[in-house]
Amino acid sequence: MMKPPAGAPAAMPAPLSSLKQRHSTIVPFSTLDASDANAKAKTAAVRTTRAPSNTILFEMEYQQENFEYMHELERQTMPNIELMNVQPELHWFMRPYLVDFLIEIHQSFRLRPETLYLTMNLVDRYVSKRIVYKRHYQLVGCAALLIAAKFEDSKDRVPTVMELSQMCCNAYDPSAFTQMEGHVLSTLGWNLGHPTAESWLRHEYSCAPPSNPATHSVARFLLEVTLFHERFIPILPSALAAGAMLLARHICRDLRPNSQSQGSMASGAASQIHQHMMENLNDLSMILIKKYSYSYYGEASTIATDWFPSSSGVVMEWFGDHK
């Protein structure tokens, strides 16, 4: 019998639902599947369809139908935070380290912004369905990045398994990434069509371009902050994008109305982002702050971190009581 490559799981990781007897309040995965023929047909169609990103159709005849489909698709591809909470070895304090590491790889290979968000969606959905040991957490993240890059980026920018192995200080053999890639794809049923927060933010920008050039960069910075903390995982990407843009407009004094603000959903997301920033301003990722401190990103991290300390007295007036 051939031995598995170093660092790779010996076999397909066990379903997280195997912990059901210990955590009886958690819904088993079987109940999450579509039960009727119509739902199954929709699911099958979704699995073979790529989610729109910056190529959204704006023709009036199809716009409403297109957005309804995107909203349906984002709900179908959300992770389950309750199941993530019962992981035997993973803890939430590990998440920022993984996100920092993935941001560094993402920057090194100059991948598209959508790739980072799709990567974390794949990680979270996989962690919702399979037991992941802490020694494999980085491997899962790299495999998800590899999948997302193949899905979103041009071929010449997709990292090789050898490069990923080197980025992990050779903790895993190159073949381990291919093996884990297969585990992730089979577990998720090859369903990669997730409308990311970045794709929704692009739509916000296209429909109502900010008058202040820094607004879009600040919104992007705020959105990437949400990747680090579990409190944002259950929030729909469309709401997060609208909330980040709404908050960025206030930060940059660019008070044009949001295009897809979704009313209370956007205000609620903006309020949660604001609250998180106020509570964790001194604990934000230095890698993320450095990334957005460059002029290429309009020094967005500097603008945002300078603004928040003086904002507590007015946020309730803007967003209402959504905390």
3-state SS assignment for residue 130: strand
Domain 70-192 coded CATH 3.30.429.10: no
CB 237 within 8 A of CB 117: yes
d(CA 227, CA 290): 16
Q: What is the pTM of this model?
A: 0.80
pLDDT digits (tens, 9 = 90+) for 86-127: 999 999 999 999 999 999 999 999 999 999 999 999 999 999
* Phi, psi torsion values for 15, nearest 5 degrees: -60, 140
Q: Taking each helix axis from N to C terminus, what angle separates 214-226 and 264-280, rounded to the nearest 10 degrees?
A: 80
Find all residues with CB under 8 Å of 243, minimum gap 6, and list them.
265, 266, 267, 268, 269, 270, 271, 272, 273
Q: What is the pLDDT of residues 289-319, one digit of tens each?
A: 999 999 999 999 999 999 988 766 555 455 5
Give the model's pLDDT for residue 66: 80
**Contact between 177 and 150 (Cβ < 8 Å):** no
Distance CA(275)–CA(266), nearest Å, equals 14
Is the separation of the CB atoms in 173 and 9 below 8 Å?
no
Q: What angle do CA 141, 144, 145 make, to 5 degrees?
A: 85
**Range(s) of the chain covered by CATH 1.10.472.10:** 70-192, 197-319
Give the CATH superfamily of 197-319: Cyclin-like (1.10.472.10)
The CA distance from 40 to 44, in Å, is 6
